[in-house]
């Protein structure tokens, strides 16, 4: 495996290089973002480890540039005392990094072996991920979708269910920043490492005017609120549409699972729901979205070319689970238009 280490600390580069070369990996180094981009013009690693605090172009901007130019997997390796902190983790995921890890320090430190083990496991796994080249999108990229809006409004939706995994934060940012107030609640299953959920919730709240909260057992959902599946629990609904949290085994190796969410929404809401499949690795959500589609619900899938990782969108498309394939901005446009149709001219909800 070929690895590019990007870090302004020569000591850190030397330590990580020694660890990786000890595993037989080919390693090259860059001391800052500009040098990394120059190296990548003639060298293609399997994966890149990226520090965040560097002079000049920092790790966040370097990561975003790499995704635009080369579509290579990037893992943030930081010396932050709290790598769960939103200031590091969420900015890294927003830039398109696949994971955020704690940087190994001295071999004499108590957690050195654990840090090295996590680093090696993550690099082996993430080096296999197929990254889609990212391009900057503008509203002009989004086409008209009026037949879709008519169909969605006729379904009289009561809930929007969203699934995302790796690359999801980028898609969600583009989606939420264009989303207007919604006359229904939204629920989200985002595959994310345990411990990051509070930071992820707080970061999402900076992108939208709606309230963002972690779903709780037995609660009824409120319109114009975004609810997140909690760590280590599947999220579903009871017959009276209250939240049901389930700690049954993972599906597709994940818990919470998008398939579980979509199946439950199909059972409890039927066609009166909207299902959205966004960027991610693997196939989770495809079968459940297909079930929602068969129920007559509006099902939207992120355009694979707009996703950092297109496996989840492509899996849903392969099962013919998508009524329409759109970039995140286009998905927001469709929801806004349906919401406008659901509200009467005097501002009251048409369904009341």
Mean pLDDT, the chain, whole residue set? 90
Instruction: Classify domain 140-342 by CATH number.
Output: 3.40.50.180
- Cα torsion 319, 323, 327, 329: sign: negative
Q: What is the pLDDT of residues 71-127, one digit of tens each?
A: 899 999 987 645 455 567 788 888 889 988 888 888 888 889 999 999 999 999 999
Radius of gyration of the chain (CA): 21
Question: How far, in Å, CA of 241 to CA of 194, rounded?
Answer: 27
Overall pTM > 0.85: no
- For residue 101, list its beta bridge partners: 77
* Residue 118, pLDDT score: 93
46 is a catalytic site residue: no
Q: What is the pLDDT of residue 138?
A: 44
pLDDT at residue number 218? 97
Q: How do residues 263-313 score in pLDDT, each as one tens digit?
A: 999 999 999 999 999 999 999 999 999 999 999 999 999 999 999 999 999
What span, in angstroms and rounded, lies between the C-alpha atoms of 29 and 9? 11
How far from the centroid of its chain's Cα atoms is residue 207's Cα?
14
Supply the pLDDT for residue 289: 98
Residue 193 pLDDT level (bands cut at 50, 70, 90): confident
pLDDT of residue 326: 94
Q: Residue 140: pLDDT above 50?
A: no
Catalytic residue, chosen from 83, 284, 293, 306, is 284
pLDDT of residue 346: 43
2-126, what's its fold? Rossmann fold (3.40.50)
| Per-residue confidence (pLDDT) for residue 82, from 0 to 100 | 57
Task: Collect contacts of 120-124 with beta carbons under 8 A, ≥24 apart.
Answer: 120/19, 120/23, 122/75, 123/1, 123/3, 123/20, 123/47, 123/49, 123/75, 124/1
Domains 2-126 and 140-342 belong to one CATH topology: yes
Give the CA distances from residue 6 to residues 47, 64, 187, in Å, rounded to whole numbers and listed in that order: 11, 14, 37
Give all strands (DSSP E) within 140-191, no chain letters: 160-164, 186-190
Sequence spans of domains, the chain: 2-126, 140-342
pLDDT tens digit string along 200-249? Answer: 999 999 999 999 999 999 999 999 999 999 999 999 999 999 999 999 99
Q: What is the pLDDT of residues 235-251, one digit of tens each?
A: 999 999 999 999 999 99
**How high is the pLDDT of residue 84?**
54
- Residue of 275, 184, 268 lying closest to 221 (CA atoms): 184
Q: Are 327 and 302 in contact (CB under 8 A)?
A: yes
**Whether the predicted pLDDT of 143 surpasses 50:** no
Q: pLDDT tens digits, residue range 162-173?
A: 999 999 999 999
> Which among 7, 12, 58, 191 is annotated as catalytic?
191
pLDDT, residue 347, reads: 43
3-state SS record for 201-250: HHHHHCCCCCEEEECCCCCECCCCEEEECCCCCEEEECCCCEEEEECCCC
> In this structure, are residues 91 and 60 in contact, taking their beta carbons and an 8 Å threshold?
yes
pLDDT of residue 268: 97
Which H/E stretch holds residue 75? Answer: strand 74-78
Backbone angles phi, psi at 50, to 5 degrees: -130, 120
For residue 244, count CB atoms less than 10 angstroms from its CB and return exposed for 0-12, middle for 13-18, buried for 19 or more. middle
165 is an active site residue: yes
Residue 94 has what pLDDT?
Answer: 84
Q: What is the pLDDT of residue 108?
A: 86
Q: Read off the pLDDT band of 147 (50, 70, 90).
A: confident
CA 174/CA 170 separation, integer angstroms: 7
Q: Which of 12, 127, 165, 199 is catalytic?
A: 165
pLDDT for 42 beyond 50: yes
């Amino acid at each position: 495996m070929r690895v590019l280490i990007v870090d302004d600390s020569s000591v850190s580069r030397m330590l990580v290089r020694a660890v990786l070369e000890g595993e037989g990996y080919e390693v090259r180094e860059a001391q800052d973002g500009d040098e990394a981009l120059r190296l990548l013009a003639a060298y293609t690693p399997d994966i890149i480890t990226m520090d965040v605090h560097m002079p000049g172009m920092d790790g966040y901007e370097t990561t975003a540039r790499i995704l635009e130019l080369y579509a290579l997997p990037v893992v943030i390796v930081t010396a932050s005392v709290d790598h769960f902190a939103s200031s590091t983790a969420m900015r890294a995921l927003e830039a398109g990094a696949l994971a955020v890890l704690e940087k190994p320090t001295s071999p004499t430190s108590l957690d050195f072996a654990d840090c090295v083990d996590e680093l090696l496991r993550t690099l082996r796994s993430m080096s296999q991920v197929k990254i889609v080249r990212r391009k900057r999108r503008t509203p002009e990229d989004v086409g008209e979708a009026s037949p879709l809006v008519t169909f969605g409004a006729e379904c009289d939706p009561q809930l929007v269910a969203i699934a995302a995994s790796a690359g999801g934060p980028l898609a969600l940012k583009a989606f939420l920043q264009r989303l207007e107030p919604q006359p229904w609640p939204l629920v989200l299953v985002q595959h994310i490492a345990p411990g990051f959920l509070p930071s992820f919730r707080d970061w999402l709240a900076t992108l939208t005017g709606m309230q963002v909260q972690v779903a709780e057992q037995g609660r009824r959902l409120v319109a114009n609120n975004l609810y997140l599946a909690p760590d280590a629990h599947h999220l579903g609904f009871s017959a009276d549409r209250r939240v049901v949290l389930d700690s049954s085994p993972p599906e597709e190796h994940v818990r919470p699972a998008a398939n579980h969410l979509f199946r439950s929404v199909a059972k409890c809401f039927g066609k009166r729901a909207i299902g959205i499949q966004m960027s991610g690795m693997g196939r989770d959500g495809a079968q459940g979205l297909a079930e929602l589609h068969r129920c007559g619900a509006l099902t939207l899938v992120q355009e694979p070319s707009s996703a950092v990782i297109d496996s989840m969108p492509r899996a849903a498309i392969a099962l013919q689970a998508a009524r329409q394939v759109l970039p995140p901005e286009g998905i927001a446009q469709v929801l806004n238009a349906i919401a406008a149709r659901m509200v009467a001219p005097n501002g009251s909800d048409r369904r009341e």
